[in-house]
Amino acid sequence: MKIFKLFILLILNLFSIAKTNAQAIQNDSIKLDYTKIYALALDGNPKSALPLLDIDPTKKIAQKDLQFKSNFENRFKFEEDKSDFLETRKSKMDELLKIYRDYWRLSFLNKENKNDTLMMKNVSDFLKANFSAAKNLTINEDSIDVYQKKYISSLGYHTTGFGKTGNLYDLLVWKTEKDTIYKLNYDGKETLVKIYFMDDFITLGWSEYATLGRYYPAGWATNEALFCVKKAYDLKSEAFKVSYLGHEGRHFADYKLFPQLKGIGSADLEYRAKLTELALYKTENEILKRVGFFINNANYDSQNGHSIAAFCVIRDLSKELFNTDFEKDLEKWKTIPLQKINKTASKILDENTKSLKKIPNVEKFIKQ
């Protein structure tokens, strides 16, 4: 009898523990949708991510999620930026960075307003007041580009210059860089390309600001060389070989192959580079991560070329692989052999190349 009673007591205790754990799990069940939050931020729309941070006060939330909520809201919820963005990157160009930060934030939170004209005036006024060589500066992109580069160089820094990433004027500034030569093979030709590895960044631009440092340009290409953000990659990894060398190498080749190609925010160039990635990955986990990233950040109606390109890549692959308009279920992608994704991406890229070559001085194609 005692054994029976002990058995019943043990069952009741286990039931009680299970019930308590279930309640704890329920109370701790709040999870921030980081995928959606970052996708909106990368599309230049962090304001629309704020409702995703609304939390039922009766529920529990992990400390890291609570900290992210506080940091994100401090940056975008109030009339002024209450975050430590400027304080954590003190340098000799604080005032210029503040102009850019205020422009980015105003553009994010008031998307219906056109802030570019005011931005150009503010940067021009700053350079004239703080850089004697800029006294003859005129308010246009080329003139601002020349004198902003000279000003930042005079402070001992490197920069990309005055221009847009997507729909916004951007500012990338770093302290150190080292160059090396890589061999790239594109379109059956081996090319020696100089790559600058950059470090000690003061700012990585508006995408870094919008995502609280989670995402930023990992590299880019010019007609003369490639540039790589050193901290973004393990140089021995497949991600570096494909998502950097493959992606940016495609840009490097396309600048010569299609010199007029620009599309909407370089959507066509990004489309071709993203297809190149999916044609080259040889690890299933890595290619699925890229497919998932493209799905989550796809937006055909965006003003951001990356978002448009991501949509078109998934759209065109979906038609070939699933006979659907846009397959967003990653579980279905997992059923497709890696080699088939490689070959299909390569096929679509080849077809795109043939189509572009038929159009004299082509400027855009995937979105007219």
Q: Model confidence over 85-118: pLDDT tens digits?
A: 999 999 999 999 999 999 999 999 987 777 999 9
Residue 296 belongs to a domain: yes
Reference 158, options 229, 99, 206; nearest CA is: 229
3-state secondary structure of 116: helix
Give the torsion through C-alpha atoms of 147, 151, 153, 156, to 10 deg. 180
Reference 129, options 95, 172, 86, 97; nearest CA is: 95
Last residue of a domain, one of 76, 96, 124: 76
Query: CB-hemisphere CA count at 13 Å for 7?
Result: 4
255-297 pLDDT, tens digit per residue, is 999 999 876 568 999 999 999 999 999 999 999 999 999 999 9
3-state secondary structure of 137: coil
Query: What does the pLDDT read at residue 25?
Result: 41
Residue 83 belongs to a domain: no
Residue 330 belongs to a domain: yes
Contacts with 284 (C-beta within 8 Å, 6 or more apart), sequence order: 338
Which pair of structure tokens corresponds to residue 154? 């005079």
Provide the sign of the torsion angle of the four alpha carbons 348, 326, 221, 234, taken in this order. negative
Distance, in Å, from the CA atom of 25 to the CA atom of 308, rounded to the nearest integer, reads: 39
Domain total for the chain? 2
Query: What does the pLDDT read at residue 268?
Result: 95
Domain residues for the domain of 55 are 2-76
Query: What does the pLDDT read at residue 12?
Result: 33
Distance, in Å, from the CA atom of 226 to the CA atom of 245, rounded to the nearest integer, reads: 9
pTM, entire model: 0.86
Query: What does the pLDDT read at residue 22?
Result: 41
Query: What does the pLDDT read at residue 265?
Result: 62
Residue 68 belongs to a domain: yes
Distance, in Å, from the CA atom of 211 to the CA atom of 76, rounded to the nearest integer, reads: 11
SS3 content of the chain, % helix, strand, coil (to 5): 55, 15, 30
C-beta separation of 217 from 174 below 8 A: no
Q: Give, for all 368 residues of the chain, the pLDDT tens digit.
A: 333 333 333 333 433 433 334 444 444 557 899 999 999 999 999 999 999 999 887 888 899 999 999 999 999 999 999 999 999 999 999 999 999 999 999 999 987 777 999 999 999 999 999 999 999 899 999 999 999 999 999 999 999 999 999 889 999 999 999 999 999 887 777 889 999 999 999 999 999 999 999 999 999 999 999 999 999 999 999 999 999 999 999 999 999 999 998 765 689 999 999 999 999 999 999 999 999 999 999 999 998 899 999 999 999 999 999 999 999 999 999 999 999 999 999 999 999 999 999 999 899 899 87
Residue 25 belongs to a domain: yes
Distance, in Å, from the CA atom of 365 to the CA atom of 355, rounded to the nearest integer, reads: 9
Residue 264 belongs to a domain: yes
Strand partners, 189: 186
Query: What does the pLDDT read at residue 184?
Result: 87
Residue 89 belongs to a domain: no
Reference 165, options 111, 237, 217; nearest CA is: 217
Query: What does the pLDDT read at residue 102?
Result: 97
C-beta separation of 214 from 236 below 8 A: no
Last residue of a domain, one of 59, 76, 93: 76
Last residue of a domain, one of 57, 76, 95: 76
